[in-house]
Each structure stands twice: as C-alpha cells, then as structure tokens.
Amino acid sequence: MPLVTLADVLQPALKNGHAVGGLVTLGWEDMRAYVAAAEELGCPVILQAGPGCREHTPLPVLGAMFRHLAEGASVPVVAHLDHGYTFEDCKIALDAGFTSLMYDGSRKPLQQNIDETAAIAEMAHAAGISCEGEIGFVGYANGENSAGTDPDEAAIFARDSGVNAMAISVGNVHLQQDKEGGLDLNRIAAIAAVTDVPLVIHGGSGVPVDQRKHLAANSAICKFNIGTELRMAFGAAMRRAVNADPDLFDRVTILKETHDPLVAATKQVLQAFGGGKG
C-alpha cells in the first residue's frame, strides 16, 4: 500500500488504545526487517530517518527506499524525518516524499520553539503530510541531561504549534542500553489532561517493556521511538555471522544473516504496543 501520514496511524492509536513503533533506521537491512515484522503482526510501522542515518545516506535516497518498501507492504508505513533541526532539513524530506516531519526545537525558548515548529507544521499540512514537535528536551545517556516537560507549556505548545504529535520529556533518555529508566506517570497524566494531541516517547529503548504495554493501552502515548534496542540486536547478529566463519568477507552474505534475528527482535518490540491482528 502507499505511504501514509503520521496522523493516519496515530489518531486510530489514540482512539483505540494502542501505540505505534517509530523505528530508527540506519540502512536497507533494518528498514526491510522492520516492515517484515510489522507485516507478520498486521500492525502499522513508522520508519524513521534520524541525524545519524542522514549523515550516511541522503534524504532523497532514503525517501525512495521508504516508498519502495511501503508500496510493497500489506500494512501502513509512515516515512518519518526524526529530529529535523532546520527548515531546510524538513523541506528536503518533504520533497523526497516523506509523509511526516519531526522538527526538534526543544533546546530553544518556548515561543521560538512554537514559532519555528508552527512554520514546519504549516508547510507539512499544506503538502498533506504530518508534523511532530518536541516540548521539553529529551537528553542522552552519558550526555546532555533531560529537561522535563512542563504541562502548562505543553498545553500552549500543542495549541499554538499545530502539530499532529508531541514528543515529551518525562524521564526518557536517548541511547539507553538497558530498560531500567521508567517514566514519570504523574507527569504524563498531567500533560495528557491539558492536551488532546497524541504523545510521543523518544528514547523508548530505556523504558521497561511492561510500562510500554501499560502506557500504550492506557494513556495518550501513541508512539514509542525505538533505536538502540534494535541496533544492538542487529549488531549481535552481524557479529555472530562474522565470528562463525573467519574467512567470510562478502558483506551481502554477512548482512543476510541479520535479517531473521532482527525481524524476531522487532516483533518483540511491536507486540508490546498492541494494534496488530493478534
């Protein structure tokens, strides 16, 4: 089926009590496995091109890859720009066929974040696609600290920016390699009480699976971004393939060995969010 927008998959998630996986891609091997896993489960999937991916592969190439996978898929697929930091980033992604733009102005003062995000949202909506924004900076493991989202500021941001989804900072951290983080449920409830926009958790790899399941079914959290957890599964599978045969050198042969393990790991991630066929 053709690519769909972020709103196309998040509004049903909000209404019906499930979430959708925003899966961070780095190349053909992982994005192909993500779609295969989603097809097996009968659930939508969001393919995300973040800054690291874009450094390696140009956005027009990524857009073509996402479109190719979506057109052959039996489930809805969203082509999502993750952490666009400039208007130019977002415009290039739009022109490359992406169906969702995430503008990250979370490091900036509230009004500047609103104004810049609103400009991206206006551009996206004029093209018939979606926009995600971020209010409350989400930090990085062993790096910048998070700044928790203020519910009052979140209400203003959601109202004035025009976003289709809002990423929030509620104890989540990017690049966590364990699931010991846990989120601030009271802060999530306070934010949800003052806005009706689907909420997004970046740094989902650090969130315990039971909490993911609970929030997907019982809160306005409609999208979990998952990157590190699946990169670790991919890396482990590739390491096993290389170590199993010291004479192996053909990268296509090596990379084929990552597919089935990554599909299995992705299915485990997506099953926690519900929304599939069973």
**Sequence ranges of the domains in the chain:** 6-271
CB 23 within 8 A of CB 46: yes
HSE (CB half, 13 Å, CA atoms) of 257?
Answer: 17
**Three-state secondary-structure class, residue 181:** coil
Rounded distance between C-alpha atoms, residue 128 and residue 151, angstroms: 29
The mean predicted confidence, pLDDT, of the chain is 93
Rounded distance between C-alpha atoms, residue 8 and residue 78, angstroms: 9
Active site residues: 82
HSE (CB half, 13 Å, CA atoms) of 239?
Answer: 6
User: Residue range 132-160: average pLDDT?
Assistant: 86
Q: Fill in the amino acid letter for 13.
A: A
HSE (CB half, 13 Å, CA atoms) of 16?
Answer: 12
- Tell me the pLDDT band of 246, cut-offs 50, 70 and 90: confident
- Tell me the pLDDT band of 112, cut-offs 50, 70 and 90: very high
User: Residue range 28-40: average pLDDT?
Assistant: 97
Rounded distance between C-alpha atoms, residue 224 and residue 106, angstroms: 18
CB 234 within 8 A of CB 177: no
State phi, psi for 69 to the nearest 5 degrees: -65, -40
Give the whole-number percent of the chain exceeding pLDDT 70: 96
pLDDT, tens digit (0-9, with 9 covering 90-100), for 53-77: 999 999 999 999 999 999 999 999 9
Handedness of CA 217, 223, 228, 232 (dihedral sign): positive
- Enter the pTM of the model: 0.95
May I ask the CATH architecture of the domain 6-271?
A: Alpha-Beta Barrel (3.20)
Handedness of CA 120, 95, 47, 243 (dihedral sign): negative
